[in-house]
Amino acid sequence: MILSLFFGWVNDFMLFCRRIQATIRKFTRTMILIADSGSTKTHWCIVKNGEILQEIFTDGINPFYQTDMEIIGLVDTQLIPNLQYSEFEKIHFYGAGCSFPEKKLLVSQALVRFFVNSLIEIQSDLLAAARSLFQLEKGIACILGTGSNSCYYDGKEIIQNVSPLGYILGDEGSGAVLGKLLMADCLKNQLPEWLTEKLLDEYELTPAIIMENVYKKPFPNRFLAKFTPFILEHIEEPSIFNLVYDCFDAFLVRNVLQYPLEDIQVGFVGSIAHYFRDTLEIVASERGIQISEIIQNPTKGLVEFHASTVIL
């Protein structure tokens, strides 16, 4: 009888301890790490109860262009030393090049080396754009950054996607393609002479330097995209305006117009969409597309999404 009471007391005590541990865990491990990664940079946010505690910027992570060891090295040298916190219940990583299972696995295996106790979700930057723009509503989400992309989002997942194909075969409207077209027009004498001279002088370029960066050095897309401030500065020049106009028009025709557009929102995320808003809205209007929202990055919307939605 005494032993029975004793063991009953022990079981009750252990149950009480487990409840205390669960309560402690609930209040101490509510921090999550959200990452929005393009080919150029990654924006990391430490979030607790919907509040951003810390923001860190590192180089971009794209598993199409980087090996697992390169990603591990980047995280180890640029992220880990700058973190003010080390324990996260969940990590939500959204990245360019993370649409395919094998690429998601590559990024996940790199992150798990540093965050062994965290639940890790790897998704595409396109889903980040959709969740940020529309939360749980349907819409056409578009990205215009270093690269470009688009999708039909049903409020839960991406159900249709026109493949962007990268800056060589596609990525219409992106910073890389705008830069590529600018370099081509520069080298083929399609720009006013004064503008060509200013471009080459301002960036200390020669034809040989351009060719080397595009065809021999790593990350040519980043090299090409860095000329977008010059394009924006000279958007009033007819040759530049036409270049941007045609590039945005190609994005809409070859991507957005392939989705069902009746009674649905169309939103844009990315630095190119943000800074070239006026031109983009002109092109969209002439194609009969009403843009519902343009945001520079999806961070705020993602914080709101994960503060109110259980994913993992």
- Render the chain in DSSP notation, one character per residue: -HHHHHHHHHHHHHHHHHHHHHHHHHHHS-EEEEEEE-SSEEEEEEEETTEEEEEEEEE---TTTS-HHHHHHHIIIIIGGG-S----SEEEEEETT-SSHHHHHHHHHHHHTT-TTSEEEEEEHHHHHHHHHHTTS-EEEEEESSSEEEEEE-SSSEEE-----HHHH--TTSHHHHHHHHHHHHHTT-S-HHHHHHHHHHTT--HHHHHHHHHTSS-HHHHHHTTHHHHHHTTTSHHHHHHHHHHHHHHHHHTGGGS--TT--EEEESHHHHHTHHHHHHHHHHTT----EEES-SHHHHHHHHHH----
Gap between the Cα atoms of 144 and 259, Å rounded = 17
Question: Using one digit for the tens of pLDDT, what is the confidence trace for 43-95?
Answer: 999 999 888 999 999 998 888 878 889 999 999 999 999 999 888 999 999 98
The pair of three-digit structure tokens given for residue 79, joined into one six-digit string: 């992220």
pLDDT category of residue 11 using cuts at 50, 70 and 90: low
Supply the pLDDT for residue 151: 95
The pair of three-digit structure tokens given for residue 224, joined into one six-digit string: 């090409």
Question: Using one digit for the tens of pLDDT, what is the confidence trace for 200-226?
Answer: 999 999 999 999 999 999 889 889 999
Gap between the Cα atoms of 127 and 94, Å rounded = 8
Gap between the Cα atoms of 227 and 247, Å rounded = 15
Residue type at position 262: E
Gap between the Cα atoms of 129 and 147, Å rounded = 13
Neighbours of 229 (CB within 10 A): 12
What mean pLDDT is predicted for residues 182-190?
94
Gap between the Cα atoms of 82 and 46, Å rounded = 12
Asked if the model's pLDDT at residue 20 lies above 70, the reply is: no
Supply the pLDDT for residue 41: 85
Neighbours of 24 (CB within 10 A): 10
Distance of CA 178 to the CA centre of its chain: 18
Q: Do the Cβ atoms of 178 and 247 come closer than 8 Å?
A: yes
For 146-196, give the DSSP string. Answer: SSEEEEEE-SSSEEE-----HHHH--TTSHHHHHHHHHHHHHTT-S-HHHH
What mean pLDDT is predicted for residues 11-37?
61
Distance of CA 139 to the CA centre of its chain: 18
∠206-211-214 over CA atoms, to 5°?
125
- What the chain holds in terms of domains, given with CATH numbers, is 31-134+299-308 (3.30.420.40), 139-295 (1.10.720.160)
Exposure string over 232-243, b if 16+ CB within 10 A, otherwise e: eebeeeeebeeb
Question: Using one digit for the tens of pLDDT, what is the confidence trace for 101-115?
Answer: 899 999 999 999 999
